[in-house]
Amino acid sequence: MSDLLARHRAVMPNWLALYYQDPIEIVSGKGNRVVDATGKSYLDFFAGILTNMIGYDVAEVREAVERQLATGVVHTSTVYLLRGQIELAEKIARLSGIPDAKVFFTNSGTEANETALLLATYARKSDQVLAMRQSYHGRSFGAISVTSNRSWKNNSLSPLNVHFLHGADRHLTQFKGLSDAGYIAACVDDLRHVLATAVAGDVAALIAEPIQGVGGFTMAPDGLFAAYQEVLAAEGILFISDEVQTGWGRTGSAFFGIQNHGVTPDMMTFAKGLGNGFAVGGVVARGDLMDAPHAVGLATFGGNPIAMAAANATLDFVLSHDLQANAARTGAIILDGLRAAAPRFPIVGDVRGKGLMFAIELVDPETGAPAPALAARYMEETRSLGLLAGKGGLYGHAMRMAPPLTLTEDEAREGLAILVTALENIS
């Protein structure tokens, strides 16, 4: 493994982060578990950064891909009719709830967000965009400009004129102690003030994650975006919901994260779990917005037949097995257990989440300050106990986890026991 790590460092960029002091190579997977090159097995609570949404070696997905491979057509491109692309778009348009929806497929969430920003700025003839503090929307030039997390922001140069809003930062002094209703009112007042002072009219859009992924699964209280949308609609400002991490029933309480707020956005972006490991992303938007650009467009690899076969099979599996309900059921086991255990551990600053999307925030037990070093220790401890987790948060001090939606109740209890034991071991 040390040889493979040395080869990685010789040819890959230094900023390409690797987890763990001794990084692992995953060589096989089955169900909700993976095995590394040493033969050690792990319960996977991070799923390739929320991407292996229904686990590993799923027969329905494998067989769909094999059927497409057997045709000999691995790729054609969007200049030809693609049956799988049309079938998947029909399903997504129907599930979105967006009126007269149309779908454009890309290869990643970053590219999906770039497309949505293009559609919004074209429709509104404005480069002004609103985004949320602590957000993350991708690593490309436009996506970085609407990202509000210094750890992921390489420069201040931007193709957009961006202003950032409150909504997932209740830890700040001015918001501590406020009820949900009070916090929402304060955030809406701030939005109105931004529109009155910081912009020049004709703002294109607000882009927001219903639950902030890289932000450590921080989230606005349910109803905030409905309150925001009232103000936005009065100004003609479009609303883009970034569902790259919250889509497909993961929150348990809604199929798309924004539906927890009672909002139907103008556009939603998606990627991650839809292909269960195959590269697929896209935008679903109002038909008038999608049709508006005058220039010819295509996506060489967007709508790729192999990716579409995998995505159709994955989405069908999610729906036919009601995995949204399973996310609610198994997520409650873990979240309720963590919340019950948390008072025993002064290092736990917060436990939060919805469904199979949850986080533990690690803090200094004396000061309550963010403790990224503790989070790093916790990652190593969970790994040694046989569980893979992720890390995030504005200060790198939140353990964020999103197991496959196929997680069983027994696996939920097993994972919970490991998470609590790891807390005991580092406290």
Q: Is 139 in contact with 110 (CB distance < 8 Å)?
A: yes
Q: Which portions of the chain are predicted below pLDDT 70?
A: 1
DSSP state of 362: E
Residue 286 pairs with which residues in a beta bridge?
101
In a domain, 327, yes or no: no
Residue among 196, 137, 193, 125 at smallest CA distance from 165: 193
**Containing domain of residue 106, as a range?**
78-320
Half-sphere exposure of residue 278: CA atoms within 13 angstroms, side-chain side: 25
In a domain, 385, yes or no: no
Question: pLDDT for 231-275, tens place per residue?
Answer: 999 999 999 999 999 999 999 999 999 999 999 999 999 999 999
Q: What pLDDT, on a 0 to 100 scale, did the predictor assign at position 1?
A: 66
In a domain, 133, yes or no: yes
Chain centroid to Cα 75, Å, comes to 27
DSSP secondary structure, 96-113, as one string = H--TTEEEEEESSHHHHH
Please provide residue 255's backbone torsions phi and psi, each rounded to the nearest 5 degrees: -75, -40
152: burial class by Cβ within 10 Å (0-12, 13-18, 19+)?
Answer: middle
Which pTM was predicted? 0.97
3: burial class by Cβ within 10 Å (0-12, 13-18, 19+)?
Answer: exposed
Domain count, the chain: 1
Report the SS3 class of residue 36. strand
What is the C-alpha separation between 39 and 24, in angstroms, rounded? 11
What is the C-alpha separation between 376 and 399, in angstroms, rounded? 9
In a domain, 316, yes or no: yes
In a domain, 5, yes or no: no
Report the SS3 class of residue 395. coil
Query: For position 248, which CATH number holds?
Result: 3.40.640.10
In a domain, 363, yes or no: no
Tally of CB atoms within 10 A around 18: 12
| Residue with the two structure tokens 């750890």 | 151
In a domain, 108, yes or no: yes
In a domain, 153, yes or no: yes
